[in-house]
Amino acid sequence: MHIVTAKEMYEVDSHTVQSAGIDGKILMENAGRAVATNIEKRVANTCRILIFTGSGNNGGDGFVIARTLHLRGYHVEVVSLVDEEKINGDAKFHYDILKKLSVPFHFYKSENQLRGILVHTEAIVDCMLGIGVKGHLKSPYKEVVGQLNKLSIYKVAVDIPTGIPADEGVEVKDGLYANVTFSIQYPKITAFLERYASYYGEWVPLDIGLIPPIKPSFVQTWGRNNVQATLPKRKRFAHKGTFGKGLVIGGSDEMPGSVMMTARAALRSGAGLITIGTTRQNIPAIASYVPEATYKTVDEMDFLSDQYTSVAVGMGLGRTEKAFSLIEQVIRQVKSLLLLDADALYYLKQNLSLLKEREYPTVLTPHAGEMARLLGITTERLLLKPFTYSKAFAKEYNVHLVLKGPFTIITNPQGEQFVITNGNVGLAKGGSGDVLAGILLSFMMQGACLITSLCNGCWIHGASADHLIENGRYSKYDLLATDLMEGIGSVFHTFS
Ligand SMILES: NC(=O)C1=CN([C@@H]2O[C@H](COP(=O)(O)OP(=O)(O)OC[C@H]3O[C@@H](n4cnc5c(N)ncnc54)[C@H](OP(=O)(O)O)[C@@H]3O)[C@@H](O)[C@H]2O)[C@@H](O)CC1
Ligand SMILES: [K+]
């Protein structure tokens, strides 16, 4: 599913109206009717519903919703935040139709007046502002949003919760907290930012018949259907070599476990052959947990002559001079797909130019803190516009970037972006990243387009955590990274 900025949304709108010739009033009718139909599924027709409208086309959607619900037997009333003369364009067209019906209509005057109107209201529909919002909310929107946020009634937002910008990079303080947001055709970027996602509540995209330009360049979500369509097939006559030869370099005497989790996750996700490169002391400590792997000490590895399909480096490696020199050697000498995680990302901060010298694809898997450090900015700043920062970085350093978080953003060097929305807070624990690195390594080894492999790997990781919790196997408190191995198997099973 595509995710859009305000500019992209207006482009699709004008393409539909100007090139395809569909009148804007029809689009507004489609939008309003689609929302009304979905409200019917969630709000009983015995409820009194207040529809709040503003000066723009978001308000116009509200007039269609009011008419549609009224004709379907609901008790609806409209509260307009602007005077009649400020309503114009397509919204005015639908306002004039609504006026002919017996729908009670109020023009907002004061908080006191609104308090009276709100008595016995069970649900509100927010059509005050949509993607046309600029900056902080002005009066009376700010006061109305503040008043509504204090009420624990069911709140439906249309397209975007009032006050919340469509685009990343904009800092605002006030916005309506909705229970559900019906996004017109596509969800907007801010639905995928940690800062704003909670304002949306649940988000549901509604098709209103927009016609996008031939080749949309928008960000996309990656979900179960995408995985189903692209998951590497296991051919009947395949052998272990068919599924690649992978190398995991990491682990230290102090941090033995991470490399073990990466290797196990890789094997659980379909990798054919895995070698673990770690310290001599670490090998007996972890060998019994991953007997399927072969082992090498880091001192005896020869990256120039050893041929691996894919290599992952950094998990639990430590930040010693010896570790850094090993990482540099790997980046310079590995002639295959390379994934850099954890301590390898730490090392990279002072050595980013090395990435530009690599002739083979490189994957970086930072969480927000690691990414902010690589960029030399604060995490807060990064999280204000993670899509923009990711795209610029991936293009500049010619890397595939997996920015891990509640919304994991995957970007390729061409600037294509996908976002993964599954997973849960049970993953916020040490070791989750090591497991993800293993799943990604495995998918990298099994061929296919690299960004597809990364999207599939991230989705399987999130789905494993969701599966274990939804099936009552663990809770969001006690889930461990090692438990994910069990979840990976269950998720694969759902595709068989
Ligand atoms: N795209 C599509 O295909 C379709 C889109 N549709 C719908 O249209 C919506 C977009 O409509 P839009 O462009 O009219 O913008 P919208 O958000 O309603 O209002 C803009 C007005 O807000 C005001 N305003 C701005 N900032 C403010 C602030 N901080 N504080 C207070 N006020 C502020 C400003 O008024 P001003 O201050 O200039 O008087 C401006 O005029 C979209 O979200 C979707 O719901 C559907 O109908 C069907 C097809
Ligand atoms: K709205």
ipTM: 0.98
Beta carbons of 190 and 164 less than 8 angstroms apart: yes
Q: Which ligand is nearest to the CA of 57?
A: 1
Cβ burial 316-327 (10 Å sphere, 16+ → b, else e): bbbeeeebbebb
Q: pLDDT, tens digit, for every residue of 146-188?
A: 999 999 999 999 999 999 999 999 999 899 999 999 999 999 9
Those residues whose C-beta lies under 8 Å from the C-beta of residue 340, and which sit 6 or more positions away, are 312, 313, 314, 327, 331, 348, 362, 363, 364, 365
Interval 319-325 mean pLDDT: 94
Instruction: Assign 241 a pLDDT band (cuts: 50, 70, 90).
Output: low
Task: Note the pLDDT tens digit of each residue in 34-56.
Answer: 999 999 999 999 999 999 999 99
Tell whether pTM > 0.90: yes
Average confidence (pLDDT) over 74-99? 97
Inform me whether the pLDDT recorded for 9 exceeds 80: yes
For residue 217, the model assigns a pLDDT of 72
pLDDT value of position 236: 63
422-431 pLDDT per residue, tens = 999 988 888 9
Residue 237 has pLDDT above 70, yes or no: no
Give the residue range(s) of CATH 3.40.1190.20 domains in the chain.
224-494
Regarding the beta carbon of 28 and ligand 1, being less than 6 Å apart is answered yes
The pLDDT of residue 185 is 95
- Token pair, residue 400, equals 């595939």
6 lines ligand 1 (CB under 6 A): no
The verdict on whether residue 130 carries a ligand-binding annotation is yes
CB 400 within 8 A of CB 458: no
Residue 409 has pLDDT above 90, yes or no: yes
Q: Where in the chain is the domain with CATH 3.40.50.10260?
A: 2-216
Tell how far the Cα of 193 is from the centroid of ligand 1, in angstroms.
21
Torsion sign across C-alpha atoms 144, 146, 150, 156: positive
Calculate mean pLDDT across residues 63-71.
98
245-259 pLDDT per residue, tens: 899 999 988 888 999
Q: Is the pLDDT of residue 19 over 90?
A: no
Cα of 386 from ligand 2 centre, angstroms: 24
Strand 408-411 and strand 400-403: the pairing is: antiparallel
* Average model confidence (pLDDT) across the chain: 94
pLDDT of res. 301: 81
Å from CA of 182 to ligand 2 middle: 9
Residue 240 is predicted with a pLDDT of 64
- 407 carries a ligand binding annotation: yes
Domain 224-494 carries which CATH code? 3.40.1190.20
CATH number listed for the domain at residues 2-216: 3.40.50.10260
pLDDT in tens, 208-233: 999 987 676 779 999 999 999 999 87
Name the residue of 10, 14, 55 whose CB sits within 8 Å of the most ligand 1 atoms, as the mutation to test its pocket: 55
Lowest mean pLDDT among 3-7, 74-78, 232-236, 344-348: 232-236
Cα–Cα distance, 241 to 248 (Å, whole number): 17
List the helix and strand counts (H, then E) for the chain: 19, 18
Measured from the Cβ of residue 349, the count of other Cβ atoms closer than 10 Å reads: 12
3-state secondary structure of 39: helix
